[in-house]
Structure 1
């Protein structure tokens, strides 16, 4: 999966649907590209295949990035992209489990993480070998259910569960350090009984290597990958600019953003 194409698809969807959450979709593009390309197992390329690995987008407002990957996989057609968020469209602005390929209805932050832990426990009990990945935002770590789920995962030694933290430093209403200071996210997950690594969240080779390193650890601990990212990555006027959490594209900003993404200058 080419990240330029994924970002272009996100822009097309956001413009077609006159909708928001572009910046928080762009920050997870590389994470998703690596997962779908090299790690997630979908027997027969079927999004609802028995025995598939689970990808839970707990930060459900970034779902356009996942839709873009599903389009590349052939699970969504061009018409769905072109009519995103329009009347009658099946594709919503938050993750919706009624869409094959989306495991959880999320958007109520903190919820998806706990569901992912439950999926991992079920796979462990059934001995299926399935892995579960849960992508959360750093602002989402303000939510108590995250840490309840983390304690549960460590207690049950869910070494088939990996949380990926999109650490872009921003959330809906400001910088994470201004809302609730998190300190070292890696140290927090280590203290909760996880194996944990930090990585540049836009370096695909580094992401791939970190995922493989975490899975290769023979411990019974669950895994945490803290990805340092840039909100709005790929478009200069969106990068680290929190206004693009809720700003809609117009014809001018859409054209400028597409030009930057296609050139790949940011």
Structure 2
């Protein structure tokens, strides 16, 4: 698919109400494999896609912000004639989901905000940039991938999960990853939280080091129609570390929303 000159990879699978899965920084659509399979089995049609500059989607050298990614998604939904959908976003994907709601609320049935945030406090933002930018600018993506992967899972996580995540992160184009990271840490949805009136599920791993539980509690406190699920024995990529519990909460939530329509 070409969106304003950007070639984007996507897949639509299954039959039923639409669900869009938005991956996190440095990931790709395959990272939703376990959620996609469970949703299809439970009667949903699932759209997965690579964000611009990720996976097999094209990157174009230009300034981007979180609204850029929301606009990309809107173009994709228009192309696929999807008028209204559930949005599920992990980390940066959750920030994109919130930005999409700000701009296109009439197209959203519900929001699932996983291991994400409304904003990063300035000290946290600066610390994140200062810790990652040197690796990116020196082309040391493999070293950065090692750090990110180990922070994203508990010590009890299968080694293969960590290795797979390292491989995916390391494969990113440094320029695209740098711009995407800056767009992500600068995202701020505080202005819309109190205005969100549709069902919202917030999920986070209890040991998340990247977007700590307090960030999810903040979202929960400021979004009236929200529920919060904290997954035990999980860190940032809780979709892969505790897919059983994540999928159970996700499917139950989406079925409840559909049944109440």
TM (norm. structure 1) is: 0.32
Q: Which has the higher contact order (CA 8 A, sep 6+)?
A: 1
TM (norm. structure 2) is: 0.32
